[in-house]
Chain A
């Protein structure tokens, strides 16, 4: 159901942006892991008392009583959300929006491969790239924690946290992908594909800052990351995972459907 030739090409096209974002995430992950110590944790919670809004805005709330909580507070509120978004935008641009806008898609459509096969290949490529990114960062994170603080990291829950993060990012890929399937110019694509996730992200920052704006949490995809459930309640597959998977699948299906029926002025 997918074209292996096109898949290989997709692999090549995204390698450079992947390496850049992967390197950034590795750097942050190892630095944050390296910085872990209970004393610093106290100092940072001092910051949280002094500047509660600012720290909350970037998702840094709570006191880290373990290495896992430390990693969650300082990585999964900002860095692990925003950097993958940059990669998603570049990836979808390269694999879908670019070919539509520049017209190179005509070459693919003029081969005996159905639109369905082509779009399925792009979906699989995108989903795999994201899995690859989060998977490798998880491995790097776990490894650096093990080296720096042997036995300190709760690996099981760390994996659960990253798995949920992956599902969240796949849903974001779905949003950006859907935007590319409907847009015929980069302008529209960026407006919807980048605008919406960034808006969600800003909403997340604002709603973290005050109780009055907490309502914004309920219409925000980033709120679906089940931090509490995994860290506090030790749920390995919280209900949010299913919701995020469902959202991602629905967005991909809707995009693929639109891709198959639309006109391409190539």
Chain B
């Protein structure tokens, strides 16, 4: 039973005309997996999530959670599902606490214990009207709301937007804890770092179509080490990049161009040989880093 996917999309299409919408989406998320859903703005992340939540009905294809139809059996699915919207809309006349209590009642929760511990954890001061709250504070309310009934599946649409770095880390911790408990999580994002830290697999969506689904561990294994060196002059840098065992490095999303006396490369030969060569070239500075997830993914973004 556990082997059946918790979230399952088969050829899901929602066509809004003018090329807007999502087309032929297919993927499955097994129980206990944290699944990343990455893509630029307007790619169709939220449209996918709306279909999972049963707000909209796919024009074609099958959209299921826990084996149930996302639109027709939404009520049953919601019993076990937590949701954080990408664009939070709370009734502005309510206080944070008033809203969370209202939602707890609507969800039929008996105890507020978990809700309170989450509020404490995220340093949420829920008194005061939502209208006057900052974006980050509202986001915290949304996170508490999504997790407070200890759901088996959680759907998160850009969960860390508006959070400060400290709270982003706290959120990553929470997701990792939930993963240990066996919670299935689908999380849309455009922040590579957060996906890298939490997700087992990640789908990349572009213009309404899945470009690829990558296993994050495998992807991490594919990462290259990138070296950046500073040499005495530009001619030396040029010459260095032609040496055997040295591959010049560039990627399509590169934003900065290097100063002429610097070079970025990957090593294909033996590292000691390359280091010796660098010494001969009179290297002034050396920096080594891992290829970022962003650089890995950029080929799909374009």
Contact = CB atoms under 8 A, between A and B. Distances in A.
Interface of A: 3, 5-6, 9, 13, 102-104, 106-115, 117, 261, 263-266
30 contacts: A3-B106, A5-B102, A6-B106, A9-B102, A13-B93, A106-B55, A106-B83, A106-B85, A107-B89, A107-B90, A107-B91, A107-B106, A109-B53, A109-B55, A109-B74, A110-B81, A111-B103, A111-B106, A112-B76, A112-B79, A112-B108, A113-B78, A113-B106, A117-B75, A261-B57, A263-B56, A264-B50, A264-B56, A265-B50, A265-B56
Contacts of B78: 109-113
B47 to A, nearest CB: 8
B143 to A, nearest CB: 14
Contacts of B170: none
B85 A266 contact: yes
Interface string B21-49: 00000000000000000000000000000
A264 B89 CA distance: 14
Nearest to B55: A264
B294 interface: no
Interface in B54-104: 54-57, 74-76, 78-79, 81, 83, 85, 87, 89-91, 93, 102-103
A112 B105 CA distance: 11
A261 B107 CA distance: 22
A115 B74 contact: yes
Given A109-B54, A265-B55, A5 B90 contact: no
Given A114-B75, A265-B55, A103 B106 contact: no
A107 B103 contact: yes
A6 B108 CA distance: 12
Contacts of B50: 264-266
A6 to B, nearest CB: 7
A111 B91 CA distance: 15
Contacts, number: 68
A112 B107 contact: yes
B110 to A, nearest CB: 14
Given A110-B81, A113-B78, 9 more contacts: A103-B89, A106-B83, A109-B78, A111-B103, A114-B74, A263-B56, A263-B57, A266-B55, A266-B85
Given A5-B106, A110-B53, A265-B56, A103 B76 contact: no
Contacts of A115: 74-75
Interface in B105-154: 105-108, 145
Nearest to B59: A263
A9 B106 CA distance: 11
Contact of B106 (A104, A108, A114, A266): A108
Contacts of B74: 109, 114-115
A264 B53 CA distance: 11
A109 B105 CA distance: 14
A256 to B, nearest CB: 15
B82 to A, nearest CB: 8
| A-B pairs, 10 with minimum CB distance | A103-B89, A263-B56, A114-B75, A5-B105, A111-B106, A112-B79, A110-B83, A112-B78, A264-B55, A104-B89
Nearest to B57: A263
B107 to A, nearest CB: 5
B89 A106 contact: yes
Nearest to B77: A112
Nearest to A116: B75
A114 B89 CA distance: 20
A103 B85 contact: yes
